[in-house]
Chains A and B, each alone.
Chain A
Amino acid sequence: MKSENLSVTAAAANTTGVAVNKTYWIKSIILLGLLGVLIALPWFTGYSTQRLMVELFTFYAIALAWNLLAGYGGIVSVGQHVFVGIGAYAMFSVSTTFSLNPWLALPASIIVSILFALIFAVPMFRLRGAYFAVGTWVLAEMARIAVLNSDWLGAGGGIPLTTMTGISRWLRNAGVYWAALAVGAGSLAVIWWLMRGRLGLALLSVRDSEAAASASGVNVLRTKVILWVIAAAITGTAGAVAYMNTLQVSPGATFSLNWTAAAIFIAVLGGIGTLEGPLIGVIVYFLLRECFSSYGSWYFIILGCIAILTMVLAPGGAWSLITRRKQIDPFGIRRILS
């Protein structure tokens, strides 16, 4: 039965091989063109646009990482802001301590985030489901209080990014923008690549049934820890780049739940467990923000209500409303289940 299906699909693929090749090239050209336009952006836009784009890309990356955990690993974290803080503080302190160019200090964000994630995977993965979610929040609270009480990290005042002085304004803005673009596009590429490979398959089986997956040789815990570490690295780097924009980290803002809230909103609204969802979500999020953020509390009330309505009416998010009508799969990672 299974092998029959497979051979049929293989035959179909053979006959349409030429067509597949053609759409592949068209896709690649569109993608490269888009990337080119995005890279060239600093030459024909102002600083405010670039700053907005930095936010957009970093929020996108953080939402993608949250979605990687929740949508593909079934692990919900409400404490992802801990990595925003850890990543940003790592880069700021390495850069200012060693008078290092901030861009060269970015790898510190990745390394410290990964180490932090690995160490705290030990207590966190003793919790499951909703308990894990709130447990990560406790972790973020601890980190915030610890930083707040650490004089060498600037305590309550935080750290200014003094190493940025001496870099021309244009280059600084463009440089941060390119870093953000690299983080946004890079995390999409990394996750896309992961999902197409063995890890993607393992995740799919874990999501469907943990028991069945572990019975067929998938190490469920290891798979989840890998996801947690990858998400940490992405979130930490995105956090560092986001704070290159503002030139100052402080415990209250950098370890703020608002980061996780935004990531959850973007992923839930766009569609959990899809690569396309966060893209739609981040665009909607910034459209709403640009239009309504002047309304203060009411803006957040509206955001919260949208999230609630999405969970009640369309748990699959906006992307599920689109695919309900039309089967499209631009990233080519949806697997046919037979």
Chain B
Amino acid sequence: MARPLMLTIMRLLTPTLEFDMLVFIETLINGLLLGALYALFGMGLSLSLGVMRMINIAHGDFIVLGAYLSSVIVMSTDLGPLASLLLLLPLMFVIGWLLQVVLFNRVVGRDPLSPLLLTFGLSIVIQNLLQEGFSADTRSLPAGDLALQGVELGGMSIGVLPLISAAISIAVFWFINRLIHRSPVGAAVRAVADDQETARLVGVNDKRLFAYMTGLILVTVGIASVLYGMRTPFSPASGPERLIFSFEAVVLGGLGNLWGTFIGGLIIGVSQLFGARIDTGLGPFFGHLVFLLALIARPQGLFKGGKS
């Protein structure tokens, strides 16, 4: 751990590395755009923690699963990756609903560790099923022209694909936030998150609500997975790292605070890209470092946890 730190300090002190405002702003913007995608990764985790008090260790593997399913749809139909969402999202919803009904509902509320260990097993199963079905090779979703197009902005070039994915991420956050805070179903969700026992007393069917929740969570995961697959090559082993980025976004933002998760994602994205500027291999390392430092400074997260 000492060396990367030394390296950072050295790079910062080296006069040859001139401070370039343009590079700085470009890195910042790209970091924010990447972070918006991480925020979308984190959203599902934030929802399952906030509402069901359940951490899903297989969350990252679901992101990768979604990307593979999308690639299967793209290959077997004429649809592009974005159009594949039409088929992918209902499929993801059903997968989530089934998992909650068949597995997760048996362990949620028992103790906090049972869901963790169960989904840990599930994570291993998904990773190896993907490896069995699609081999260990990396693949990516064909983004076509989108991957190459960029917007020129005062000498900087910003990719169109990252812009689109950030816009989609914001739209999803806006929609889910509205659903939870402005709808009758959302009231039931908040009630269960507040006090599951009393929610049952007023007639809320918590287990059924959880099944729909997990379905919805996997829909957000499905959207994230297509945007991710168009941008980055993935392999069956990519899941755990997705989980960690999602987790960092959630904890940084403050638990049970959806927009907090969004900001948390942005911070991780920006840290990673500035880290990668210092040393290409150290991008994620700096994301983790910022996470740890933030944890020491503000253990309760950057924002007060309004319940979501």
Contacts and interface: CB of A to CB of B under 8 A. Distances in A.
Is A–B contact present in the complex under a CB 8 A cutoff? yes
Given A134-B55, A149-B279, A315-B114, A141 B128 contact: no
A61 interface: no
A242 interface: no
Contact of B124 (A70, A123, A261, A296): A261
A145 B281 contact: yes
A301 B57 CA distance: 16
Interface stretch (B150-158, B166-174, B190-198, B284-292): B284-292
Interface in A261-312: 261, 264-265, 268, 296-298, 300-301, 303-308, 311-312
Contacts of A138: 244, 247-248, 288, 291-292
A315 B116 contact: no
Interface residues of B, number: 50
B282 interface: yes
A78 B244 CA distance: 11
Interface string B275-308: 0000101101100110110011001000000000
Contacts of A257: 240
From B122, B124, B281, B289, name the one whose CB has the most chain A CB atoms within 10 angstroms: B124
Contacts of B248: 138
Contacts of A265: 121
Given A146-B4, A146-B285, A137 B244 contact: yes
Interface residues of A, number: 46
B110 interface: yes
A145 B284 contact: yes
B112 interface: yes
Interface string B176-215: 0000000000000000000000000000000000000000
Interface of A: 70, 74, 76, 78, 122-123, 126-127, 129-131, 133-135, 137-139, 141-143, 145-146, 148-152, 257, 261, 264-265, 268, 296-298, 300-301, 303-308, 311-312, 315
7 contacts: A131-B255, A149-B4, A261-B124, A264-B117, A297-B131, A300-B124, A300-B125
Given A123-B295, A150-B3, 19 more contacts: A78-B116, A78-B120, A126-B299, A130-B55, A131-B255, A134-B243, A138-B292, A141-B244, A145-B281, A145-B288, A146-B3, A149-B281, A149-B285, A150-B4, A297-B128, A301-B124, A303-B124, A304-B128, A308-B118
Interface of B: 1-4, 7, 49, 55, 57, 103, 106-107, 110, 112-118, 120-125, 127-129, 131-132, 240-241, 243-244, 247-248, 251, 255, 279, 281-282, 284-285, 288-289, 291-292, 295-296, 299
